[in-house]
Amino acid sequence: MSADVFTLPSFAEPALYSRSNLAPITRTVKFALADLTGAAGSAADPLETSDVIKLFKLPPDVKILSAKADFGDLESSTGALEIDLVVTNGPTTKYLFDGMTTVPRAAGSVNSGDAAATGFVHAFTANSAIGWVVDNDNYYVAINVVTGATASGADDDVYVSVSYTSALESNEAAFRT
């Protein structure tokens, strides 16, 4: 099999936002890799190098506040599975988590509020999505597989949660509909 793009049903839903609500909005998805089928008909379990899983779209002019990801045991060996959780529109990519290895391999959880988290990208880093304002309406959250699994794991469940707000400072809004 070759690398594939997998699109969750939630990706077809409109981006969620409210300009009149100052409270953060949290988008969450939960899925099993075995339930995903890519364009070439291959299943997402095990994940292969360069696989992409599109999770959901983001609205323009929202600031990314935090992210959390929970993984089942996605790889049964001590292989090289490495994944990124990103905010991207294709040409521009910002990282929620960069180079996660241990957590997706052996079941675990990572939270952007924990500076010691595997793959954590500090909010002040140029390529961090945390604290970044989405500047157009083409961005979405995705899982990018940097290095594929060498074998299926004992569990293929994935849960991702991303929080953002439309309450911006006057100098943060770059895109207007």
Look at residue 135 and tell me if it is in a domain.
yes
Enclosing domain of residue 121: 5-165
Counted domains in the chain: 1
Look at residue 13 and tell me if it is in a domain.
yes
Q: In whole angstroms, what is the distance from residue 128 CA to residue 105 CA? A: 23
Contact 26, 58 (CB under 8 A): no
Look at residue 70 and tell me if it is in a domain.
yes
CATH number reported for the structural domain that contains residue 145 in this entry? 2.60.120
Residues of the chain below pLDDT 70: 1-2, 39-40, 78, 115-118, 120, 173-177
What is the per-residue pLDDT for 163?
95
What is the per-residue pLDDT for 177?
46
Look at residue 160 and tell me if it is in a domain.
yes
What is the per-residue pLDDT for 34?
87
What is the per-residue pLDDT for 155?
86
Look at residue 16 and tell me if it is in a domain.
yes
Look at residue 35 and tell me if it is in a domain.
yes
Instruction: Quickly list DSSP for 31-71.
Output: EEGGG-B-TTS-BSSS--TT-EEEEEE--SS-EEEEEEEEE
Look at residue 115 and tell me if it is in a domain.
yes
- Residue 33: what are its φ and ψ, rounded to 5°? -55, -40
Look at residue 98 and tell me if it is in a domain.
yes
